[in-house]
Amino acid sequence: MAFFLPPAVIFGQVYNPAIDVRHYVFALNVNDSNDKIQGKATVTLVFKEDIGSFHLDLAAKNKEGKGMTVRSVTKDDQPIRFTQDSSHLILLHTAARKGDQHTYTIRYDGIPADGLIIGKNKYGHRGFFGDNWPDRAHHWLPCVDHPSDKANLEFLITAPDHYTVVANGALVEEKALGNHQRLTHWKESAALSPKVMVIGIADFAVDHPGDVQGIPVWNYVFPEDKVIGFRSYALALQILPFYISHIGSYPFEKCGNVQSKTRFGGLENASAIFYFENSVSSPGVESLMAHEIAHQWFGDAATETGWKHLWLSEGFATYMTHCYLENKYGTDTLKKGMEKDRTKVLTFEKKRLTAVVDTTVKDDYMQLLNPNSYEKGGWVLHMLRRRLGDSLFWKGINAYYTTYGTSNASSADLEKTMENISGQDLHTFFHQWLDIAGHPHLRISLAVNTLQIDQQQPDLYEFPLDYSIGSVRHTIQIKDRSTTIRLDPDASQQQLVLDPDVNLLFSK
């Protein structure tokens, strides 16, 4: 995800580990007369323990009259007692046993207070755009609104027939219903977390510029931006081959790129990526698309187990973008990108000093959209790549994706995978860069025959430090509070450059 707009305060939902949702079918009716939606959600789930009642996340009507009102709940056509609080649908007296699988049908309606953006685009045309990240899906979809509960899904959208509807997965059917209404059915066979489930309903111009190794690329733009939008979004044809060759096979049925009303610069909805309205003419559209397309592997397919591991989404997407640009434009592009990212990290730490794996954030997950999750997470991968070398690094990335590409992973899972691939003990590396706030802050003293390097931060780090004296490159392993290097007598007369290839996150 690329974030451009100021964050709003969002409060997290109570996670319910007693159930595991396996499949959603969301049948929704939208209209042009008002913002009210009518929904029928069919939820198939397995119980993880004996339980008498359980809840799904769903926002009830608030004092402004926005929110969802549940009209009925049934199981096997039999009514189920239920109640609602402000953010949950509670199903009562279900009497389920561990291992049971049941399907519940929920009929509801209301005006979404969030999550589904209904309104006019920059050209004054009405549209409907899902915008679920991080836990805003429950404002319009009954679900377990947490990244660790993934399920496959279907959207059946009934809308006025002048609209085009895009959603996750493959297009199953479009059918005229009469009275200027049309049913559009999309089906996603891969398991997704609610944060990347999406629909987009608008008067789109649609383009299919080609396929990449059997994966169709479909682009959806506002008709007024048709020429520039089709040209810009066709960059996906260049981006996908790099990721497929370096990470693994693409995880979804299509690569859809959608001009939208998302509050973010880009939102990585699985197979239907949303980009901000002016993205089509943005000079940064290639890096934006590279970031969001990288998320299809990392965040969408291999999903973090919880919010504290968000760097497994955002840090990966940030660094994979650098790798793509390096491959296309050269190593200097990578160096400049890492220098810029290092500056962002160091500036952020002066405002808020916290670890990448941030256990302090309990509800307002928007605050995790910061340089720790993005740029520092990317720096962790960059330093890991330099430690392992390109061959082992990419082999490890492929193994991580292959192992967790249909499920969830934690930082420890990535560490274990990289250790297995490399045969190295990487615990100190991961611990110091992910679990400790801050970075190496070095004081450098150059005398006639010696170079002294002192770590000034509270926690000691272990890392290789590259430096050059004149045209000669050197590397030394740093682990102590103070390290002294003996130099040739004439070294003090030559220029000393620390980290000439931009391989270390540090300050001096």
55 and 184 share one domain: yes
- Tell me which of 410, 435, 460 is where a domain ends: 435
Nearest to 470 by CA among 449, 458, 488: 488
* Assigned domain for 6 exists: no
Token pair in block for residue 451: 């170079």
Give yes or no: residues 103 and 64 share one domain: yes
Asked if residue 218 and residue 91 are part of one domain, the reply reads yes
Residue 212 lies in a domain: yes
For every one of its 508 residues, what pLDDT tens digit does the chain have, with 9 covering 90 and above? 775 544 333 334 457 789 999 999 999 999 999 999 999 999 999 999 999 999 999 999 999 999 999 999 999 889 999 999 999 999 998 789 999 999 999 999 999 999 999 999 999 999 999 999 999 999 999 999 999 999 999 999 999 999 999 999 999 999 999 999 999 999 999 999 999 999 999 999 999 999 999 999 999 999 999 999 999 999 999 999 999 999 999 999 999 999 999 999 999 999 999 999 999 999 999 999 999 999 999 999 999 999 999 999 999 999 999 999 999 999 999 999 999 999 999 999 999 999 999 999 988 999 999 999 999 999 999 999 999 999 999 999 999 999 999 999 999 999 999 999 999 999 999 999 999 999 999 999 887 788 899 999 999 999 999 999 888 899 999 999 999 988 877 666 678 899 999 999 999 9
Nearest Cα neighbor of 272 from 234, 217, 318 is 217
Sign of CA dihedral 131, 405, 157, 88: negative
Confirm if 170 and 180 have CB atoms less than 8 A apart: no
CA distance 360 to 222: 41
Q: Tell me which amino acid residue 188 is.
A: E
Domain span at residue 460? 442-498
- The encoded tokens of residue 413 equal 């899972």
Residue 117 inside a domain? The answer is yes
Same domain membership, residue 483 and residue 396: no
DSSP state of 441: B
Domain boundary among 253, 270, 294: 294
Q: What is the CATH number of the domain that holds 79?
A: 2.60.40.1730
346 and 364 both lie in a single domain: yes
8 Å CB contact between 380 and 414:
no
In a domain, 506, yes or no: no
CB 25 within 8 A of CB 12: no
What's the chain's Rg over C-alpha atoms? 25
Q: Are residues 384 and 493 located together in one domain of the fold?
A: no
Two tokens, residue 488: 């040739």
φ, ψ dihedrals at 450, nearest 5°: -140, 150
Tokens at 370, concatenated: 């910061």
Say if residue 264 is in the same domain as residue 290. Answer: yes
Statement: the pTM of the whole predicted model exceeds 0.85: yes
Number of structural domains the chain divides into: 3
Domain assignment present for 208 = yes
